Structure 1
Amino acid sequence: MRLSTNIVKDYLIVAFEGELDHHTTEEARMKIDSLYYDNNLSNMILDLRKLNFMDSSGIGLIMGRYRNCKERQGDISIVNTNPSVERILRMSGLLKIINMYSNIEEAIDGKRGE
């Protein structure tokens, strides 16, 4: 699994590629949290376009980042999901508490495309 990161405004943007599972979540968590806290950010966008598999460890990673953002009165959004990952997110209930957008620009603006 590979992570690409970028900071835009007060958003840490994290793009996942590959599989997010029990073999990869700890390293991903450490990298994401380090960038998030070291740069004193409050918002996060998770780009899941190139994520082709996620298990319960990945759900846990997303939930933990949700808590981190809420503790800082920030927000977390998910963008660019593929159908299989979106299905897992819906079944887990994450999309009841985390907004999903078509792209990063919509997530930053907080507006979904019509």
Structure 2
Amino acid sequence: MQRAKPLRDAVTVVIAGELDHFAAPQIRHELDQIVGDPNVIHLVLDLENLTFMDSSGIGVLLGRLRALQARGGTLSVKNMQPPIEKLFRLSGLQRVIGVEENKKGGRL
């Protein structure tokens, strides 16, 4: 996971590889460090290099979304690969997590 420099009250984080049962605890911990910063209101996850996500990953995203929403913040994702886009559609995540336009111009 790579953290980009914050832009005002927003932070972009790049998540690569797999967000599954094995990786979820570490990624959850790292995201909690960011979400725990009271100056961070908007968290954007760049998922361009995320190759796989299971229900553990969904739980990580939803937990951070709830924490941000509790203080008026938002969570959004961008640059999803087709398998991740499909997971978002099938699970309905795109209805609760903001989806920004992909680099190629596509959007869910």
Look up the match of 2:71: 72
Following superposition, the deviation at residue 89 of structure 1 comes to 1.1
Q: What TM-score do the two structures reach when normalised by structure 1?
A: 0.83
Q: What TM-score do the two structures reach when normalised by structure 2?
A: 0.87
- Structure 2 residue identity aligned to 1:90: R
Q: Deviations over 1:18-60 (max 9, x none)?
A: 0000000111111111122135311110111100000000000
Look up the match of 1:36: 35
Structure 2, unaligned runs of 5 or more: none
C-alpha contact (below 8 Å) 2:51/2:83 kept by paired residues? yes
- Structure 1 residue identity aligned to 2:52: F
Aligned residues: 104
Cα distance change of structure 1 residues 75 and 38 upon mapping to structure 2, 3 Å threshold = closer
Secondary structure, counterpart of 1:81 in structure 2: coil
Following superposition, the deviation at residue 82 of structure 1 comes to 0.6
**1:80-91 equivalent positions in 2, closer than 5 A:** 80-91=79-90
Runs of 4+ in 1 over 3 A off after TM superposition: none
More helix as a share of residues: 1
Following superposition, the deviation at residue 103 of structure 1 comes to 4.8
Structure 1, unaligned runs of 5 or more: 105-111
Work out whether 1:102 is the aligned partner of 2:91. no
Identity of aligned residues (%): 37
